[in-house]
Structure 1
Amino acid sequence: MTVNTPALCFRSKNILAPMVRVGTLPMRLLALDFGADIVYCEELIDIKMVQCKRVVNEVLETVDFVAPDERVVFRTCERERDCVVFQMVRNQEQLHF
């Protein structure tokens, strides 16, 4: 599957830098409200994302990635489509496919 998305330009932009436990959707939307051009989500481990189920949340108008224990691991919405940086890292020791 090929997805064509515009590349983010970082020159002369207001950016919400990556921060632990602060890169949630409400904070990212608040930063956009206050003039951020680009916002970062929290760093997520790839194995957690592989285990998630993608769920469209019609009540909140979001797309949620939900872990097997029903915890929302990542949530996004249309409003941040072209300005969110999704950070994913790999823990080599935990991969046993």
Structure 2
Amino acid sequence: MVADVVGLSFGILIVVGGVMGFLKSNSTASLISGLVFGALITVTTQYAATHAQGFSLLPATVCLVLGLIMGSRFLESKKFMPAGMVATLALPMSVRYFLKYF
């Protein structure tokens, strides 16, 4: 079985970030979004790694949505942590998967 270590690491980072956001500021939204996006990234990256080339659009779309959401939050708050960092990581990840598709 082929593992996408970069995709798995990014998915785990998102989950850990959501849990940390919950523990630090008692933010249920951080916990839910971290768990949902982290699980989606982890599952779709592994699915894309073990299936045909066309499935790399799945993690690309999830990363793009996450990057756009967090990018807009960064533009509103002007705080790099956590929104700017997640956007900075998610958008290149989406580009990575789009390039795998094409």
State whether TM-score is above 0.5.
no
More strand by share: 1
Alignment TM-score, normalising by the size of structure 1: 0.31
Q: TM-score, normalised by structure 2?
A: 0.30
Which protein has the bigger helix share? 2
